[in-house]
Amino acid sequence: MPIYEYQSVDPDQSCAKCCEPFEILQNLHEEPLEVCPVCGKRVMKIISWCRAAIAEAFEEDARVNRAVKDYESAGLWSHAAELADKHSEKTKDQSLKSRALENYEKAGYNVDSLTK
For 22-79, write each residue's pLDDT tens digit: 998 888 888 999 999 999 999 999 877 665 555 566 888 889 999 999 999 999 999 9
Please give the pLDDT value at position 50.
60
DSSP letter, residue 81 = H
The answer for residues whose C-beta is within 8 angstroms of residue 11's C-beta and 6 or more apart is 18, 19, 20
**What is the percent of the chain where pLDDT is above 70?**
90
Query: What predicted TM-score, i.e. pTM, was given to this entire model?
Result: 0.52
The answer for residues whose C-beta is within 8 angstroms of residue 104's C-beta and 6 or more apart is 77, 78, 81, 85, 111, 114
Interatomic CA distance for residues 116 and 112, integer angstroms: 7
Whole-angstrom distance between the N-terminal and C-terminal Cα of the chain? 51
Give pLDDT tens digits for 40-52: 999 999 877 665 5
